[in-house]
Amino acid sequence: MKKTVVTVVGKDSVGIIAKVCTYLANNSVNILDISQTIVDGFFNMMMIVDVAKCSKDFETFGHELEQIGGEMNCIIKAQREDIFDSMHRL
Amino acid sequence: MINIYEVLETNDMIEKENLDVRTITLGISLLNCIDSNLGSLNEKIYNRITTVAKELVPTGKAIEKEFGIPVVNKRISVTPIALIGASACKTPEDFVTIAQTLDKAAKATGVNFIGGYSALVSKGMTESDGLLVRSIPKALASTDFVCSSVNLASTKTGINMDAVKLMGEIVHDTAVETADRDSIGCAKLVVFCNAPDDNPFMAGAFHGVTEADEIINVGVSGPGVMRKALESVRGADFGTLCEKVKKTAFKITRVGQLVAREASKRLGIPFGIIDLSLAPTPAVGDSIADIFEEMGLQRAGAPGTTAALALLNDQVKKGGIMASSYVGGLSGAFIPVSEDQGMINAVEDGALTIEKLEAMTCVCSVGLDMIAIPGDTKPSAISGIIADEMAIGMINQKTTAARLIPAIGKGTGETVEFGGLLGHAPVMPVNQFECSSFINRGGRIPAPVHSFKN
């Protein structure tokens, strides 16, 4: 399992989650956890996904998500989970 | 599992508070390149560096993408060149050809600095050390990425005052050689007391002879993150303040540790140390001076600044040491003037002087860093400032350094511009009283006694 954190930050609009999930499903990425909150009026969503079976390399995966974000006026980032784990877990 | 608030905290640090990994520095031993023929020595050096460091920059970039954290600099440090060139170089000009080879290798590998154009002369100077030191002005003027350092003193050996005298002249000559570019050569030249063998930060990085063939050292940063974290403990007592600094330093260092481990694995090169320095940049908010202001000082340099820096430096170390088993290099808080907008403001407002900075270096992690002084400052006065700084390091058993920039053609109140990470610096006044009779004595200051501390 290769855990990756996908974050979506931006103005709330219809279909954000649907669009991201469709992309993930099309690329055989499994969603393990999903949560969302509003901070300072901005929509924040975080997904923990497993990219072990992803059909694309990490760079392309991250780049394409970024593009989907651009189309919906929000910022989508994909980061390996390790960076959060090492900072927040002993 | 990680929750959304933790993810947001990390990403806020990266996006809003300038958290980054400041440098992945690849240390390369050049001992196996030694040759008595200058041509083949240069060829071996070039081949060794470009072979070992081939994947350094692409690896740094890949890590940056995957973890979503900027890895600002990828750099190389090599064995002190005074050792490597000892058998081939007969003149300072011979050494300059090695500097040019290092520069070429740096450009070929895509790194932005290469350190190790260095000599270790804390007790005495070999002929080769002397030739290298004399070649520094030309070497730095004819290269872009080469950084030079000279270790002039140590707690165990005392201060080599002959070398201190010589370096006053070399710093001055380097400024003159690069006068057309605001004396930028001096921004790439630093003198040390107790220089560490594994420092990943420029201009003082070199690959010590105590090190393995190749090693990955990582420098982390994050003054902006620290300042932001301290906002939440405004007005609280010192216990709370220290706890906050420590916890924040821990988080920052853990990221550095992750990047270091990953870079080491991908490059197949052992991991050396994390240098957990708070290294400011000219970006607004990425400043050590701003941390002092957040702690309650009106400006860096106000009474209380040395105490504030002492607690910051110590708590950063405490938090960092918990986060990584292998901590080394300089580790603490850097207080460069030109690279820190808050420090620049403090100088321009008249709050911060060289004398106060000198006092601060007793408790910071390095020393007088990136300080522009009037271009007409005498070499003996430069030596005097260096000697003071070396003495602080020697007596206090710590690393100290001096990176002074005589701004040729400029006086107090004017500004030198370097651009990029090096920033700009206001020219600071230097005490005008003479010290040449002291500096001209020659010889060594003996090592200090380690007992009877008071």
Instruction: Encode pLDDT of B324-340 as tens digits.
Output: 989 988 888 889 999 89
Q: Write the CA distances from B1 to A5, A87, B13, B273, integer angstroms.
A: 11, 13, 20, 29
Strands (E), B121-270: 146-154, 158-160, 189-193, 214-220
Q: Is residue A24 classed exposed, middle or buried when 0-12, 13-18 and 19+ CB atoms within 10 A define those classes?
A: buried
Q: From the centroid of its chain, how far is CA B25?
A: 12
Task: Render pLDDT for A74-86 as a digit per residue (tens, 0 to 9).
Answer: 999 999 999 999 9
- Structure tokens, B398: 């710590």
Binary contact (A59, B69; C-beta < 8 A) = no
* C-alpha count within 13 angstroms, C-beta hemisphere, residue B401: 31
CA distance A80 to chain B (A): 5
Task: Evaluate whether B256 touches B220 at the Cβ level (below 8 Å).
Answer: yes
Considering chain B, what is the average pLDDT of its residues?
95
- Give the integer Cα–Cα distance in Å for B301 and B231: 20
Q: Write the CA distances from B116 to A48, B56, B70, integer angstroms.
A: 44, 18, 25
Q: Is residue A10 classed exposed, middle or buried when 0-12, 13-18 and 19+ CB atoms within 10 A define those classes?
A: middle
The string over B168-180, giving b where at least 16 C-beta atoms fall within 10 Å of a residue's C-beta and e elsewhere, is bbbbbbbbbbbbe
Taking domain A3-88, whether its CATH number is 2.60.120.10 is answered by no
- Residue B454, C-beta contacts closer than 8 angstroms, at least 6 positions apart: none
Task: Evaluate whether A20 touches A8 at the Cβ level (below 8 Å).
Answer: yes
Q: Which residues of A touch B (CB under 8 A)?
A: 5, 7, 32-33, 35-37, 39, 44, 46, 48, 58-59, 62, 77-89
- Structure tokens, B256: 């550095």
* Test the B interface: residue of A84, A85, A89 with most B CBs within 10 Å: A84
ipTM over 0.90 threshold: yes
Res. B208: pLDDT tops 80: yes
Domains of chain B (ranges, CATH numbers): 4-193 (3.20.70.20), 220-445 (3.20.70.20)
Q: What global pTM score does this model have?
A: 0.94
- For B445, phi then psi, to 5°, come to -95, 125
Binary contact (B66, A7; C-beta < 8 A) = no
| Residue-wise DSSP of chain A | --EEEEEEEE---TTHHHHHHHHHHHTTPEEEEEEEEEETTEEEEEEEEE-TT-SS-HHHHHHHHHHHHHHTTEEEEEEETHHHHHHH--
Q: Quick one: pLDDT at residue B41?
A: 98
Task: Render pLDDT for B148-193 as a digit per residue (tens, 0 to 9).
Answer: 999 999 999 999 999 999 999 999 999 999 999 999 999 999 999 9
- Give the integer Cα–Cα distance in Å for A46 and A44: 7
Show me where the domains of chain A are located: 3-88
